[in-house]
Amino acid sequence: MKFLQIYIINLLVSVCLATSINGKFRFSLGNLTKNAIRRTSFDLHQIGNYSTKVPYKDSTRLLDLEGNFKFDNLPINEGVNESTYFVLTSSSLDYNLAPNRILIEFISLENGTLQMKGYRNIFGREYFPSKDIIHPDKLDQISVEPYVVVSVIQKAPFRAYFQVRNSGMLNDGIVGSILGSRWKLAGVITVICVFAFPMFLDKIDPDAALLLKEEALKKKREQYAQ
């Protein structure tokens, strides 16, 4: 009977405890603009074990000018000492953010409380180390109380948005490399002129063209005679 009570209480607690992640976007470069808010987003993906049909995934934006954001009703794996993992990523078109990837861990403790921990990614590492590997890297723990903080490091460089991708033949390969270099382009034009000039002259002054051709032939012969 006692066990049933504990089980029911645990169940109630786990259902009633609306599990959420509260986030704060810490902005140090003056006031947040509406555009910056619109172009900043936060994604949450569940990784590892999951109890639902598909792993949880959601995306959210800033709720207010104070920089608050929130993920609600997260599915938590049941069972004592069970952990549930989420990866929080943030992106902004206007700013570089840090940490841009955070691992969030929820552990259901024996007394029914849910413990939440956050770890930032190590710069340049693609994935968070898994418990399954023999020598996992030590994770860098960050504070999650009262919220997970994502800060702006700097304004994103503007040039990033002028990168033209898939621009076709004119921009890549041999043609692109010629068009991209003034010297190569000048060389190509010179070669075209050298070939086109006698033909062009032919039309205007046939005698001069003939003379030029003979001169060229003579030069060639001299070259081979050597």
For tokens 């060229």, the residue is 216
Query: Are 106 and 76 a contacting pair, CB within 8 Å?
Result: yes
Distance CA 214, CA 204 (A): 17
Angle subtended by helix axes 206-225 and 182-204, to nearest 10: 120
Least distance from ligand NAG to the Cβ atom of residue 63, Å: 18
Distance CA 173, CA 163 (A): 17
3-state secondary structure of 67: coil
Nearer to ligand NAG by Cβ, of 154 and 190: the residue is 154
Least distance from ligand NAG to the Cβ atom of residue 131, Å: 6
Site string for ligand NAG, 104-143 (x = CB under 6 A): -----xxx-x-----------------x------------
Least distance from ligand NAG to the Cβ atom of residue 81, Å: 4
- Does 145 contact ligand NAG by CB under 6 A? no
Query: Are 154 and 96 a contacting pair, CB within 8 Å?
Result: yes
Least distance from ligand NAG to the Cβ atom of residue 116, Å: 12
Least distance from ligand NAG to the Cβ atom of residue 169, Å: 46
**Binds ligand NAG (CB under 6 A): choice among 5, 28, 52, 81:** 81
Distance CA 88, CA 101 (A): 6
Alpha-helical segments (H) within 2-138? 2-16, 34-38
Which long-range CB contacts under 8 A does 57-66 form with residues at least 24 apart? 61/37, 62/25, 62/32, 62/37, 65/31, 65/32, 65/37, 66/24
**Binds ligand NAG (CB under 6 A): choice among 6, 11, 12, 80:** 80
Nearer to ligand NAG by Cβ, of 38 and 184: the residue is 38
Nearer to ligand NAG by Cβ, of 10 and 41: the residue is 10
Distance CA 187, CA 173 (A): 17
Least distance from ligand NAG to the Cβ atom of residue 49, Å: 4
Q: How many of the chain's residues bind ligand NAG (CB under 6 A)?
A: 12
**Binds ligand NAG (CB under 6 A): choice among 14, 22, 51, 83:** 83
Least distance from ligand NAG to the Cβ atom of residue 193, Å: 58
Q: Which residues are near ligand NAG by CB under 6 A?
A: 30-31, 48-49, 80-81, 83, 109-111, 113, 131
